[in-house]
Amino acid sequence: MRILTVALHDNDHEALAAEQRDERDDEYNEVVDRVPQFLDEIELETDRGRASYAEVEESEADLERFEKWLASIADRDYFQAPRGADARLAVQRCREALAAFEALALAADSDDSAVAGRANLTVVDDHQ
C-alpha cells in the first residue's frame, strides 16, 4: 500500500473536502431516490396478497444490494457528506418494511399450513 501525503493550503483543503462531500451526496441521493421503488414493490405485493417467502427472498436480495451500495459510499465518505444520514434512514425504512412483509409472509404461510392440515383430516364417525 502506498500513501501519498500532499500539503494543501486551508482554502484548497476546504475546496477539496467540499468537492468530495458533493460527490458523496450525489451518490447518497441515488440511494434515497431508489428507496421508494423498493417500498412501492413491497406495498404492491402486500396489496395483492402475495406475501410469500419467494417475494421476501427477492426483497432481501434487493435490500442486501442497498446495504452494500450504502457501505461502499460510506467507505469513500471521508468528509461526512450530509446526505449520508438521509440515505441511512432510507435504507432503515427498507429494513423495517421488509421485516413487516416477512411477518406477513410467515402469517400467510402459517395460515396456509393450518388450512392444508385441516384439509388432510378425515372425519370418522364412530356412531354408525
Domain membership of residue 125 (yes or no) is: no
Domain interval for residue 71: 36-109
The grid cell for 23 is: 460527490
Domain membership of residue 67 (yes or no) is: yes
Domain membership of residue 31 (yes or no) is: no
Separation between Cα atoms, residue 105 and residue 90, nearest integer Å:
23
Kindly state the DSSP code that residue 49 receives in the 8-state scheme: T
Model confidence pLDDT, tens digit, residues 22-65: 999 999 999 999 999 999 999 999 999 888 989 999 999 999 99
Residue 10 sits at the vertex; the CA angle it makes with 7 and 16, to the nearest 5 degrees, is: 75
**Which pLDDT score is estimated for 70?**
98
Question: Does the CA dihedral 86-90-96-99 come out positive or negative?
Answer: negative
Residue of 90, 23, 95 lying closest to 59 (CA atoms): 95
Domain membership of residue 8 (yes or no) is: no
Domain membership of residue 15 (yes or no) is: no
Domain membership of residue 27 (yes or no) is: no
Instruction: Return the percentage of the chain with pLDDT > 90, whole number.
Output: 64
Domain membership of residue 100 (yes or no) is: yes
pTM of the model: 0.78
Report the domain count for the chain: 1
